[in-house]
A = this chain, B = another copy of it.
Amino acid sequence: MTDKQNAPANNGKKVGRAPKLDNGFYSQDIISVSQFTRENLEYIFGVAEEMRAIVKRVGSTDLLKGSVLACVFYEPSTRTSASFIAAMSRLGGTVIPITQGVQFSSVSKGESLPDTIRTLESYADIIVIRHPEMGSAQIAADYARKPIINGGDGVGEHPTQALLDLFTIEEELGRVDGLNVGMVGDLRYGRTVHSLARLLCLYDVQFNFVSPEILRLPLDVMNEIRNHDLPVSETYDVSEIISDVDVLYITRVQKERFADLSQYEEVRDLYVLTPELMEDAKEKMIVMHPLPRVGEISYAVDSDPRAAYFRQMENGMYLRMALLAAVLGKA
């Protein structure tokens, strides 16, 4: 998989693992946050900043004129698909949107994922795939000759989300090293939390995890943090850490996770961010959220300049522009 353009099609026997981006992004698959070094991140964030400058100044560029992106979404994701479509459009390229879910695709006729991918790569130059099953993006990459970007594979990874989250932290606060990062809500099932925490292990940060007992961070992520000797705290109440954090990354606590609903009712208010709570926060800090939110951040917080979640959305477009350009060798 080191140089996809010349790789032969896989014959159904190999199970791959996306390699480190040691030689840059050109022609590489983007499957997992484990591929990135700090150098990779610095590079791609630099490109994303240039993309922002271009969009602010003239709206778009012709960098990827003539290139075609296939967006194949086996499950709906307005946000991620819209972001990639906007990114490719602002780079001058075009998009084949295949976003109607499994019922609208050859998958409904029983076609295998590798066949679908190999068909789409005969039309497109690069493919973004979102799929409800963990590992599906890697399977796509194993069979494809063209580069694959993982747009989220079930409870697996969502690397472009983690990249835009980290990009937002650096843009908003000017650095990552030395920060105190609070992560709140569903830390057990929250794919975005896991991926971002793993990326942050490349830096010198301090973690504060806030969740109900049954939604605590899984052991594997916790162990990865410990292996990096980074300081960690865990609590049940966001008010205990609000005054310490530079970054407050909030995710939703879903009612469905609780077998006993009275338990949910008991704790839910501990995970809702309000203007009152924000009074105790540092003057220079940011509130992040992968969105969509459903009540876990009060609307009244939106006007607080520290509320960074909509800027975070916008950064997603710049970051994806940077990735597309870098993978296609035009960054």
Seen from chain A, the residues whose Cβ lies within 8 Å of a Cβ on chain B are 8-9, 11-12, 58-60, 65-68, 70, 76, 78-79, 82-83, 85-86, 89-90, 94, 96-101, 103-106, 108-111, 114-116, 118-120, 122-125, 291-294, 299-300, 302-303, 310-311, 313-314, 316-317
Contact = CB atoms under 8 A, between A and B. Distances in A.
Given A60-B68, A76-B100, A76-B104, 7 more contacts: A8-B303, A9-B302, A58-B66, A85-B96, A86-B96, A99-B100, A115-B293
Contacts of A78: 98, 104-106, 116, 119
Nearest to A92: B66
A294 B78 CA distance: 31
A308 B82 CA distance: 35
Contacts of A123: 82-83, 85-86, 313-314, 317
Chain B CB count within 10 A is highest, among A65, A78, A115, A310, for A78
Contacts of A8: 303
A322 B302 CA distance: 34
Determine how many copies of this chain the complex contains.
3
A134 to B, nearest CB: 20
A317 B68 CA distance: 12
Given A59-B125, A82-B96, A109 B292 contact: yes
B76 A67 contact: no
Nearest to A294: B110
Given A66-B60, A100-B76, A303-B8, A292 B106 contact: yes
A311 to B, nearest CB: 8
A115 B292 contact: yes
B317 A122 contact: yes
Contacts of A302: 9, 11-12
B291 A106 contact: yes
A122 B318 CA distance: 10
Contacts of A122: 310-311, 313-314, 316-317
Nearest to A328: B59
A291 B123 CA distance: 15
Contacts of A125: 59
A74 to B, nearest CB: 11
Given A9-B302, A82-B70, A300-B12, A104 B99 contact: yes
Contact of A100 (B83, B100, B118, B291): B100
A105 B99 CA distance: 11
24 contacts: A8-B303, A9-B310, A11-B300, A11-B302, A11-B303, A12-B302, A59-B66, A59-B125, A60-B68, A66-B90, A70-B82, A76-B100, A78-B106, A78-B119, A82-B120, A86-B123, A86-B124, A100-B104, A115-B291, A118-B313, A122-B314, A122-B316, A123-B313, A123-B317
